[in-house]
Structure 1
Amino acid sequence: MESSISKCQLEALGYDYNSLHLNNNSYLCNYTYPKVMNNMNMSSVQAKAAEGWCGNIVTQDSSNIYISNTLYIEPVAGPLITKNPLSYNITCAYNLTMQTSLNISLHPVLSTIHLTPENGTGVFTVIMAAYKDATYTTPIQQNEEVDVGSDVYLGLFSSDADGTVFALRVDSCLATPTNDQNDANAVQLVSAGSAADDGVQTTVVQNGVSLEARIKISSFAFQGYPEVYIFCNVDLCNKTNGCSGSRIGRSADSKSSGLGINLLLQDGVNYTSSGYHTAASWAVLAASLLAFLTFKLF
């Protein structure tokens, strides 16, 4: 968010254009700089559009997110104080989307990976987050428990790729009881871009048509295990060439092939080990989701 004020007007009113600051006046919370707008010299300040950042106040309605802060301007210093500091609220409105909803969550459950094309030109970010509603606008928090029998909505998006050229496509996803995608008890959730019929109810809501992919998973657990890991292979495909076929690429994060996200199991639910490691359909999607995100750019 950016707010700009005319330096000349502030000087004429007896205010110091170098004194602009937000609710939190610490060094890390104030980024001011000169700017020319419409041939006028302006003093500008930026604020990060995120929940909890330097005194931001966040509200929302059914379709928008509103992020507000207060800008303060001190009078020119002198032997006499003849006026009070100025203060006024600044507010920016954003459409409530899969992406912007993460900005109003203090600790959303998400996984991020940076993807680079095979020719090494450019780096794209893909984020996978867990949501608890079909609109993909209510992120699950890291300390939030998942109720028995609830649905979990996995939203994946890239915010810095060109949506007129590329689409995000989930090639495959599988679930395992351990942090090992080669686990012998793995259950396929998505195969070749479509829902797999492997004992777990999965719906591919949107895939390969835009920079967002949406997957709904009915809650389940592996018998004897209190957690579930999910691994996904994704890519950015060229819309001109179509988004069919499997294209597995590589990550720009050379030290990590994926990032983990964790869901807490509902308090009081106990899975006793019976020696069986098969998936119990429609039970509980429990503690962990781990996204391995890869792509190949054409």
Structure 2
Amino acid sequence: MKTTLLLSVLCAVMAVAASEVCGSVTCATDEICNNITNTCQCNTTFYTYTPGSRASPNNTCTGATFNIQVSKCRLEKQGYNTSGIRLNGTDSECLAVMEIVDGISEMTLHHSVTSSVCNTEAVINSTHVTYTNQLYIFARREPVQRITDAVVNVSCSYLLNLNINRKETLDPVVINIPEANGSYAAVMMAFKDSTYTMLLFDSDVLTVEDTIYLSVKVPDLDANTFKLKVVNIYASPTNSSNQKYYLLQNGCPASDVPADQLTVESNGVGIESRFPMKVFQISNSNTVYLYADLALCTTDCTTTCGSQSRSLIIQPVSGNTGTFLDAAVYNYDGSSARSK
């Protein structure tokens, strides 16, 4: 009760405090102007040092974005250095910046939850894909260090609505869709069976000519408004190779691959596209990375693929994202591989 009252009084005092113009900037209500340097500095009288208190940032998820904020001046009062707050990465995009929120100085991060950026990791269970990262808040070392560095886990979770039990091999990505006014998690999955229920795992051994079943899906997409279309599917021997072996081009099986190499089961009619595919091996490589280029349609956008004109018919679509999906990497058993 006393804590609540104290916070209420503090908020009331800060609300009536006038923002101070300092040089070319305006200070937050919990800052004062250093007239010598013309910079805004925390007014630490607004905050109380609490022994044992730890940093507690506020993390929310908007679309496919981490929104992290924590009081700059409260952190400094507790003994933290606010200049180096960052996610688990050293690039400039991983660093928090000062932002005035509702008149208060906050350290904020508005960052895409895309897998691998700032070492964000995707964890998938039977119902959700959850993107996790760590926020590093370092203690002030000078003139003395009185607290330890803080590492706070942050996460954003998205419903998959998929009726399968395990997805350890998935590598989802987030696509930005301006036409849909948001961002969505997209996943590529490989299954062992034609009912798309038995997921393929890293431990499963594949040989050339085995049939697997690819599914590309944007689970949270509004199926009444948009249809997902996979425009291209291609394979590379590594995740950084410029070598591309196209299986699907412009919505149709590529013209230079055998007719039964990849079949379009469904594409452009809902939020999921399906493709039975025969396993193949790229020369001098035991692994294959699969990728897909995605586009959106506001109506059904299937492509009619003739036997003589495959990959030549291009169906106009809206909302082309140009985003790549990383599928799982499947190891091949070279000793038992059959020739094509």
Report the structure number with the largest CA radius of gyration.
Answer: 2
| Greater fraction helix | 2
Q: Compare relative contact order (CA 8 Å, sep 6+) and give the higher one, 1 or 2.
A: 1
**TM-score (structure 1 length as normaliser):** 0.50
